Chain A
Amino acid sequence: QQPVQSPQAVILREGEDAVINCSSSKALYSVHWYRQKHGEAPVFLMILLKGGEQKGHDKISASFNEKKQQSSLYLTASQLSYSGTYFCGTNNNDMRFGAGTRLTVKP
């Protein structure tokens, strides 16, 4: 029931782009994205509620393909502050999170 995230880890230089994928074996009704910095609580980034919905703020955006039961998080022109572990969360009533993708942005 837990969504599968890929890649497990990614290292970028400032200004580079990254894509984090989240897929589920079950039908998706909503997809949440969170970022957790080391030793801190996860912070809500965005939620996608409809298939095909895309959202974004600043240089972080996400898409939701209901048919493929997948969501992707896009980070463009990455900044040092983007470093952290990104979790996707899926399901209807109770949120199940993926194992996380550790993103490291280096100068």
Chain B
Amino acid sequence: DSGVTQTPKHLITATGQRVTLRCSPRSGDLSVYWYQQSLDQGLQFLIQYYNGEERAKGNILERFSAQQFPDLHSELNLSSLELGDSALYFCASSVSDRTNYGYTFGSGTRLTVV
């Protein structure tokens, strides 16, 4: 157990639907990062939050949104889902908002859009 909790582990949904992925960071970590990993691909950075505020945005589609709540957990909302959105979505946390500390990854949510 890395200390970063992601739920659900698996999600199967139809095209056009909306889903919410949840992440609880490791205790004491203030930064949360979301990454998308398609089959046998690299990690694509989506978005970063630090202590409730958005800090950086990557290749995140307009159909996707995220937020970090006062208790520091984060949610990634994916809407109008397309087949190409099928991927493993990782959440990572870090104590800092800079990249001078290592990231701890959760076990991921595997999203399948049918």
Please, how many angstroms separate the alpha-carbon atoms of A87 and B40 in the complex? Answer: 13
Q: Are A97 and B45 in contact (CB under 8 A)?
A: yes
Size band of the interface chain A makes with B: 20 to 34
Size band of the interface chain B makes with A: 20 to 34
Chain B residue with the shortest CB-CB distance to A95: B99
Q: Are A30 and B100 in contact (CB under 8 A)?
A: yes
Q: Are A92 and B99 in contact (CB under 8 A)?
A: yes
User: With A41-B2, A93-B48, A94-B58 known to touch, is A32 a contact of B43 (CB < 8 Å)?
Assistant: no
Q: Are A95 and B33 in contact (CB under 8 A)?
A: yes
Chain B residue with the shortest CB-CB distance to A91: B99
Interface segment, one of A15-23, A43-51, A64-72, A76-84: A43-51
A41-B90, A93-B98 provided; 19 other pairs, C-beta below 8 A? A30-B98, A32-B99, A41-B105, A41-B106, A44-B104, A46-B102, A47-B102, A87-B42, A90-B99, A92-B98, A93-B48, A93-B97, A93-B99, A94-B55, A94-B56, A94-B58, A95-B103, A97-B35, A99-B41
